[in-house]
Amino acid sequence: METELIAGKPLTEWENQYPLIEDLMVLKEVFWNNPKYRSFQEAAENISLTEKDVIYAEARLLRFAPYLAKVFPETKKTNGIIESPLVGISKFHNTAESIFRTKIEGTFMLKCDNELPISGSIKARGGIYEVLKHAENLALEHKMLRFEDDYSILANEDFKNFYSQYSIAVGSTGNLGLSIGIISAKLGFKVTVHMSADAKQWKKDLLRSKGVVVVEYNSDYSKAVEEGRKQSDSDPNSYFVDDENSTALFLGYAVAALRLKKQLEEMNILVDPEHPLFVYLPCGVGGGPGGVAFGLKLLFKDSVHCFFAEPTHSPCMLLGLMTELHDQISVQDVGIDNITAADGLAVGRPSGFVGKTLEKLLSAVYTVEDSMLYMLLNMLADSENRYVEPSAAAGLYGPIQLSMEPAGQDYIKKHGLKERMADAVHISWATGGNMVPREMMKEYQEIGKSQLADFLKV
C-alpha cells in the first residue's frame, strides 16, 4: 500500500519527531508550550505589521462610526463603536476552583465578545472592518467620498446603488459569514457566503432573510473557502474576504487590543512585569485570536502571555506551529476528523500567515474536549448569567489548565512568574454567543449540566 506523505515524509516520521502528535491523534487534551516563544523585541524583528497599522485601522473604524450608529441602532449608545464589556467573573472563578479542585491564582475576567453588537461574535471586529475598508476604497476611487466627510452619508440611496454593482464573497463555518453578510448587505453589496457543513441552519436562514446568497457545502471549511475564492476570482467586480491570508481582517481584530488597554486603565488594572496579563483565545483558522494576540503583544510586550484554545477534534494551529508546517499540514493528514460542537473552531488547516506571524509571540496552545466546552458553558451561565457558544467556552478552560497541567506550571516557572501569579489577571476571550437562538442555548446548557454530573461522579 502506498503511504501518503506529509511534506515529503511519512506520518510515522513526524510522530517520532513530535510525539505529542500521538496524543492529538487519540484526541487527548494537551497543553503545548511553544518552544519558539521569544521576547517581544526579538519576535517583532521579522514581522512587517506594526503598531501604526493597528492605529490606522482604529482610525478607519472611527471614520465609519457615524455610519454604523445610523444604520445599526444597537451601536448608538457607543456612538458607532463596536465594542464589548470586560467584566470580572469571580463567581465562575470560585465555581471552577471547587469543581476542578485547584487554586487559580489572580483575577479571572471575561472579555464579552459574545455581546458584540451587529453579529454577536468576535467576527464583528475583523469581518466588518474588512468590508468597511473595501467600501471606503471603492468610494474614494470613484471620488464619492473624502476622509473628512461624515460617513453617515453612506446610508444614502446613491451609495447603495453604487455598491450594488459590486459583489463580496467569503467562505465560513458560520460566524464570519454572518458578519460579512450583514454588513455587506447593509451597504448594498451583492454578497455570497460559502458555508461549510458545520454552519448552523439558523445562521443560513438569518442571512437569507437579509438577501444574502448562501451556498452550502457538504465538506469542511477549507473547501468552502476554496470554492468561494474560485468563484469570486472569476468576477472582476467581486471581492473575496480571505480568512486565511487577509491582513485587513487581522488588523481589524488587532484593534481590540487598543480598546482593551483603555478598559483595563479605566478599571485601574495594571499590566506590567509585576502584574502579568494572561489571555486565552479560542482559535479556528487563527485570524481572530491571532490579530487580538498580536495587538496585545504590541501594547504590553512581555507582560502579556497569549494562549490559543482549540477543540481536540480540530487542533490545526497547534499542529501547524509544532511541525512548523503551518498551512502545509491539516488535522485530517494525521487522521483527525475535524468534527466538533465548537463550530466556530471547526477548521482543519490553519492560516499560514497567522502561524508565521505569531510563531514567536504565542506562549502556548491547549486543546479542549467538546464535553468540557458544554460543561464550562453551563458553569458560566449558572454562576454569572452570561451565555456563550461552545467555541467561546474554550477560553474559559485556560486558567484552569494553566494551574492544573504540569506544562502550564512549567511555563509559569520558566518565565519567573510564580511569585507574580497572585497579582495576575486572566482574561478568557468569550468569542461568541449572543446570536444563538434561546432554545439552542438551553439545549447546550442541558448537555453541559449532564456532563458536569458525569464529571463529578468520577
State the minimum distance, in angstroms, from the CB of residue 309 to ligand PLP: 9
Binds ligand PLP (CB under 6 A): choice among 80, 276, 295, 344: 344
Exposed e or buried b per residue across 40-55, where buried means at least 16 C-beta atoms within 10 angstroms of its C-beta: beebbeebebeeebbe
**Could you give the 3-state DSSP secondary structure of residue 88?**
strand
- Per rule CB under 6 A, is residue 127 in the interface with ligand PLP? no
| Cβ atoms of residues 365 and 310 within 8 Å | yes
**Could you give the 3-state DSSP secondary structure of residue 195?**
strand
Binds ligand PLP (CB under 6 A): choice among 175, 246, 323, 378: 175
Half-sphere exposure of 158 (CA within 13 A, CB side): 6
State the minimum distance, in angstroms, from the CB of residue 389 to ligand PLP: 6
Q: How far is it, in rounded angstroms, from Cα 362 to Cα 158?
A: 46
Surface-to-core class of residue 27, CB atoms within 10 Å of its CB (0-12 exposed, 13-18 middle, 19+ buried): middle
Q: Which is nearer to ligand PLP, 292 or 402 (CB)?
A: 292
Q: Which is nearer to ligand PLP, 181 or 344 (CB)?
A: 344
Binding track, positions 86-125, relative to ligand PLP; x by CB under 6 A? -----------------------------------xxx--
Q: Please identify which residue in the block is written with the cell numbers 486603565.
A: 265
Binds ligand PLP (CB under 6 A): choice among 177, 289, 311, 320: 289
Binds ligand PLP (CB under 6 A): choice among 154, 199, 279, 285: 285
| Cβ atoms of residues 182 and 118 within 8 Å | yes
User: Within the chain, what is the greatest distance between any pair of CA atoms?
Assistant: 67
> What one-letter code names the amino acid at 292?
V
- Residues near ligand PLP (CB under 6 A), total: 20
Stretch that binds ligand PLP, among 197-205, 276-284, 359-367, 374-382 (CB under 6 A): 276-284
- Per rule CB under 6 A, is residue 171 in the interface with ligand PLP? no
State the minimum distance, in angstroms, from the CB of residue 163 to ligand PLP: 25
State the minimum distance, in angstroms, from the CB of residue 347 to ligand PLP: 6
Q: How far is it, in rounded angstroms, from Cα 283 to Cα 337?
A: 17
Report H helices in 155-200.
Answer: 157-163, 175-187
- Per rule CB under 6 A, is residue 282 in the interface with ligand PLP? yes
Q: Which is nearer to ligand PLP, 333 or 389 (CB)?
A: 389
| Cβ atoms of residues 392 and 360 within 8 Å | no
Q: Which is nearer to ligand PLP, 181 or 432 (CB)?
A: 432
- Per rule CB under 6 A, is residue 287 in the interface with ligand PLP? yes
Site for ligand PLP in 345-404 (CB under 6 A): 345, 347, 389, 391-392
Q: Which is nearer to ligand PLP, 66 or 282 (CB)?
A: 282
Q: Please identify which residue in the block is written with the cell numbers 482610525.
A: 59
State the minimum distance, in angstroms, from the CB of residue 288 to ligand PLP: 3
- Per rule CB under 6 A, is residue 283 in the interface with ligand PLP? yes
Q: Hey, what's the cell of 83?
A: 465594542
| Cβ atoms of residues 69 and 150 within 8 Å | no
Q: For residue 405, what is the DSSP state?
A: S
- Per rule CB under 6 A, is residue 252 in the interface with ligand PLP? no
Picking from 212, 170, 208, 205, the residue whose alpha carbon sits closest to that of residue 188 is 212
Residues within the interface to ligand PLP (CB under 6 A): 121-123, 175, 282-289, 344-345, 347, 389, 391-392, 431-432
